[in-house]
A and B are shown apart, each in its own frame.
Chain A
Amino acid sequence: MYDYTDFDAAFVRNRVAEFRDQVARRLDGSLTEDEFKPLRLMNGLYLQLHAYMLRVAIPYGTLNARKMRQLAHIADTWDKGYGHFTTRQNIQFNWPKLRDVPDILDALADVGLHAIQTSGNCIRNVTADHFAGAAADEIEDPRPTAELIRQWSTDHPEFAYLPRKFKVAVTGSPNDRAVTKAHDIGLRMLRDETGAPGYEVIVGGGLGRTPMIGKVVRDFLPKADLLPYLEAILRVYNLSGRRDNKYKARIKILVHETGLEEIRDLIEAEFQRTRAELPPVDPALLSSIEAAFAPPALARRPVPDLSRADAGLRSFIDTNVMAHRDPDHAIVSVSMKPVGGTPGDATSDQMRALADIAERYSHDELRISHEQNVILPHVHRADLPAVYDALRAAGLATANIGLVSDIIACPGMDYCALATARSIPIAQQIGTTFADLDAQADIGPLKIKISGCINACGHHHVGHIGVLGLDRAGVENYQITLGGDGTETATLGERTGPGFAYDEIVPAITRLIETYLRLREDRSETFLQAYRRLGMAPFKDALYAQERRADAA
């Protein structure tokens, strides 16, 4: 676990003191709302539909028990006893009062957390594979890279007012669990033919109004060149990115309009200049960062045979437990999607339970995934029964990871001022419709992702089934996309056709799933594989045949 240096700690404290003064000046009338709004956004404070919302960064999704307990304390003291984990490895508090926010930020600073750069047209919280440092398929832990980028990008004077927000994701595994191809910059760690570590650099991905899959701008970037190369990309974007239209201000539009070859030439030319000017990263600093993410000392204990465990535990192990680089250990994904629950929400009691479990059974480490779940990255297989029992006691043992009810859903119009329709109730209804875990297991891997507006915070474009909520003449309406994929084989979903009313969307999704079950070759063929084999036609028929029959009659 990387801990703040004295410099980091002082920097964050100074920012809190500065914001405390800004809040005081807003409240006494010295600052107008127009003057105050950009200042509060710089500290992650939004004004949403029913209340303020504070977005707190969880760098590369990594927490320890102390930090998680402090989040629980904040939820209890200044909010309504819960928090919401987001698709960008942040946590959001939905009900803070303006006057309390400086105290909340101080409480965060007490444990090395903050809300800096969780909003605004700057480089946002850098995200990473939630299995980092534990995954069996990992080439290298991506978090030292993400931390280096955090240090470089925090308050970077040149990149504080970019044309638009800027998102970076890093994966250290060939199996991409960080959706790198849907970020402004995606970094995939790899090794060259000599074994030297480096990155494949992907630029210009993003979802939202104009979804695009990122393009490889550099096949291999040596590790030592990372910061000058990033600086070159950001400089090209900062100088050439559009500022006349916020919807066209992302780097994906610049890459698209300029063309990959030309943008590559611009970046490479800038890189040559930058590399000559930017001092290399201090090796001692790099070593200290890497040391902070050193793998824990894993215990050597007998691994029991759990094949005769009770059905609940076996189901949990089959679904929520993933391969660790050490065969005696496992990665446990804790579903924050109980039947009928709000995706990503955790009560303060659940946060404390997760902290206790992590401390006792996972080397004091927790991760927040972009899929709005919590990960226990280093659990000895002998401890799986105890972890399962503790999770079950906290209402956190739902065995649905990767299944139909493990849904990403943005807050939608239940909370978000930008939303045009609700997301959460749709997710809740789907979860309730497919509550039976045996039925979910039969359906198999299926990613449903729901966004309540075109900004696509729910990643619907890369859902196997994507749902986009819109406002059609004052009525909630839901469009469906099929075939999206957020992994290393990333593709954007295709729109099926006209949208569905609020009370029609869950039956429509049910028809899609029934069609898949009817047409799949066998249980081993996933929904995505079946869609890729069959194409849109049978699914479109399932969605719209009824309307066509009615039209023909």
Chain B
Amino acid sequence: MARDFIPKIATGNDLLEGDVVYFTESGDWTRDHGDAAVAGTEEQAQALLSRASGFPQQVVGVYLAEARIVNGRPAPVHFREVFRTRGPSNYPHHGRQARA
């Protein structure tokens, strides 16, 4: 039996700053994981990856990451992606968590 498809988002790193960014439905890049566009099927995921890969002067290392939907917004599944949303655990004042 085929496994249920796990929703995906497209993510990468900003070319200039190096920090983590997510591709949105409107075709922009955001620093907020919750604003990422979500692909609900494999076809949608490949299309999302294709669109997100079209910004080589803005974002590098684009890939698909698993997400789950919480209150209608995507949340990371794998612990690596959780860490990417907040920053290093040894310095709570560094990375995105500093703005929390």
Contacts from A to B (Cβ < 8 Å): 26-27, 29, 32-33, 47-52, 80, 94-99, 342, 345, 413-415, 422, 424-425, 428, 471, 474-476
Contact = CB atoms under 8 A, between A and B. Distances in A.
Contacts of A428: 90
Contact of B79 (A95, A99, A424, A476): A476
Interface SS of B by simple majority: loop
Interface in B79-100: 79-80, 83-84, 87-91, 94-95
Contacts of B84: 49-50
Given A49-B84, A97-B17, A425 B94 contact: no
A98 B78 CA distance: 28
Interface string B22-65: 00000000000000000000000000000000001100110000
B94 A95 contact: yes
A44 B88 CA distance: 21
**Most central of A48, A345, A413, A428 by chain B CB within 10 Å:** A413
B20 interface: yes
A476 B79 CA distance: 8
Given A50-B87, A413-B80, A32 B56 contact: yes
Given A33-B56, A51-B18, A414 B79 contact: no
A425 B89 contact: yes
Contacts of A414: 83, 88-90
A501 to B, nearest CB: 12
B75 to A, nearest CB: 14
A27 B17 CA distance: 12
Contacts of A33: 15, 56, 60-61
A150 B60 CA distance: 33
B19 A51 contact: yes
A47 B18 contact: yes
21 contacts: A29-B56, A33-B60, A47-B13, A47-B61, A50-B20, A50-B88, A50-B95, A52-B18, A80-B91, A94-B88, A97-B16, A342-B90, A345-B90, A413-B80, A414-B89, A422-B89, A424-B88, A425-B90, A471-B80, A475-B79, A476-B79
Nearest to A48: B18
A310 B8 CA distance: 61
Contacts of B57: 27, 29
Interface of B: 13, 15-20, 56-57, 60-61, 77-80, 83-84, 87-91, 94-95
Nearest to A37: B60
B97 to A, nearest CB: 10
A95 B16 CA distance: 11
B56 A49 contact: no
Contacts of A27: 15-16, 57
A424 B83 contact: no
Contacts of B88: 50, 94, 414-415, 424
Q: Which 3 residue pairs across A and B have the least CB separation, nearest first? A: A414-B88, A51-B18, A52-B18
Contacts of B95: 50
A47 B88 CA distance: 15
A27 B57 CA distance: 7
A97 B18 contact: yes
A97 B87 CA distance: 16
Contacts of A26: 15
A189 B51 CA distance: 58
Contacts of B19: 50-51
Nearest to B80: A413
A489 B64 CA distance: 46
Which residue, of B17, B56, B80, B90, has the highest number of chain A Cβ atoms within 10 A?
B90
Contacts of A415: 88
Nearest to B59: A33
A425 B87 CA distance: 13
Contacts of A95: 18, 94
* Residue in B77, B87, B88 whose Cβ sees the most chain A Cβ within 10 Å: B88
A27 to B, nearest CB: 8
B22 to A, nearest CB: 14
A247 to B, nearest CB: 21
A415 B16 CA distance: 18
Nearest to B88: A414
Contacts of A47: 13, 18, 60-61
Contacts of B60: 33, 47
A425 B89 CA distance: 7
Nearest to B17: A97
A29 B55 CA distance: 11
Given A32-B56, A49-B83, A99 B89 contact: no
A413 B94 contact: no
Nearest to B84: A49
A474 B77 contact: yes
A32 B77 CA distance: 31
Given A50-B19, A424-B89, A80 B94 contact: yes
